[in-house]
Amino acid sequence: MTKNKILYTIILLLFFVSASYGNNAYHCFPWINYSSAYFGPNALPVPEFSDATIPKETTLRLSGNHFFGFGDVTTGFDLRIEIPLLPERVSFKIWYTGFETWRVTQEIYDHRNMLGGNLRGTAWGEFYLKTRMLLLTERERRPNIILNSALKAAAGTNFEQRRHFDTPGYYFSVEIGKSFFPRRRFLDEIRTVAHLGFLCWETTNSTQNDAPLYGGKIILRNRLFDFENTLSGYYGWMNNGDAPLVVSSRLTFKQPNFNFFLQYLYGINDFPFHHIQAGIAIRLPSLTPRYI
C-alpha cells in the first residue's frame, strides 16, 4: 500500500469516527430550550413585584400553589421571608419555591424532550436571594422608587424531567409606586405600580439569555381588603418560548397581625398554566432587627 493510500484510508477512518461521534454526541447532549414554555411552572416564572414599599417589620409568607391546564398539573408550596434591615428603607428577602408534585401528558413529555420515561413525579424547588433599597421617598408629587437586586441559585432538582433549570440567573429592577386617595366611603386608596428591569439566565453551552423585565399593577384598598390586578412579563432574545406574559388578580383580607390572600394567574404567552394560589402573610415584630 502506497503512502497516499494509507493517508487516504486514515482520513476516511477519521471521517467516519468523527461522524459517528457527532451523532452520538447529538443524541446524548441535545439542545435544551431553557425557557418558561419548555419547563415546569417554577423553573423561571415571571418575577413577582411588590407595591413599591419596604415593610416596617419582618414578614413571613407561606402559600400553596396549584398549576393546571395545557398538559401539566403541578401542586406545591412556596415560602418567603422579608427582613427589613432598615425599616421602610432597606430589606433582605429570601424565597424558596418548595416541594412539588407534578403530572404531564405524553404530548408535553415529547414537547419538552423529557428523559426517564415518567409522566409523574416530585421535585424540590429554587432558592432566590434579593436585596431591596429605597431610592426615593413618596411625596405629594413624586413616587416611591425601590431598587431590587435578585439572585437565583441552581438549586432546583429534576432537570431531566424539565422541572427546574440546572443553571443560575439574576435580575435587577426598579419598582415605582404612587398612591391616590379618592376619599370615598368604600375605597380609601388607589395605588399604581410600575416594574422595569433586566433578567438574565444561563442556558445550553453557557450561552446567556437576556430579557427586559416589565410589569404594572393597580391596587384598590380599604381597611378590610386589597384588590390587586397585575400584568407582567419578560422578553428573551432566543425566541424559544422565553417571552412569558401573565395576568393575575389577588384579593387580600387584612387582619391586625396577618393577612390572608387568594390569587388567580393566567399565562397569556409562553407560560402555559393556570395558577391558583392561597396563603397567609404574618408580621413578625420579634424577628425585626432593632438598632439603638
Structural domain includes residue 82: yes
Residue-wise pLDDT tens digits, 202-215: 998 778 999 999 99
Structural domain includes residue 196: yes
Q: Which three cell numbers stand for residue 90?
A: 432597606
Structural domain includes residue 80: yes
Q: Exposure of 195 by Cβ count < 10 A (0-12 exposed, 13-18 middle, 19+ buried)? A: buried
Record the pTM: 0.86
Structural domain includes residue 19: no
pLDDT for 30 equals 55
Domain count within the chain: 1
Q: What is the dihedral of CA 44, 47, 48, 54, to 10 degrees?
A: 130
pLDDT for 4 equals 46
Tell me the percentage of the chain whose pLDDT exceeds 70.
Answer: 89
The residues with which 219 forms a beta bridge, in sequence order, are: 191, 228
The answer to whether residue 285 scores a pLDDT higher than 90 is yes
Structural domain includes residue 133: yes
Structural domain includes residue 69: yes
Scanning the structure block, which residue is given the C-alpha cell 410589569?
215
Structural domain includes residue 117: yes
Residue-wise pLDDT tens digits, 29-68: 456 899 999 999 999 999 999 999 999 999 999 999 999 9
Q: Which three cell numbers stand for residue 173?
A: 429592577
CATH of the domain at 195: 2.40.160.40
Local structure of residue 70 (DSSP, 8 states): T
Q: Give the residue numbers spanning the domain of 98.
A: 31-287
Q: How many angstroms separate the Cα of 39 from the Cα of each of 19, 45, 64, 73, 108? A: 31, 10, 20, 12, 10
Structural domain includes residue 102: yes
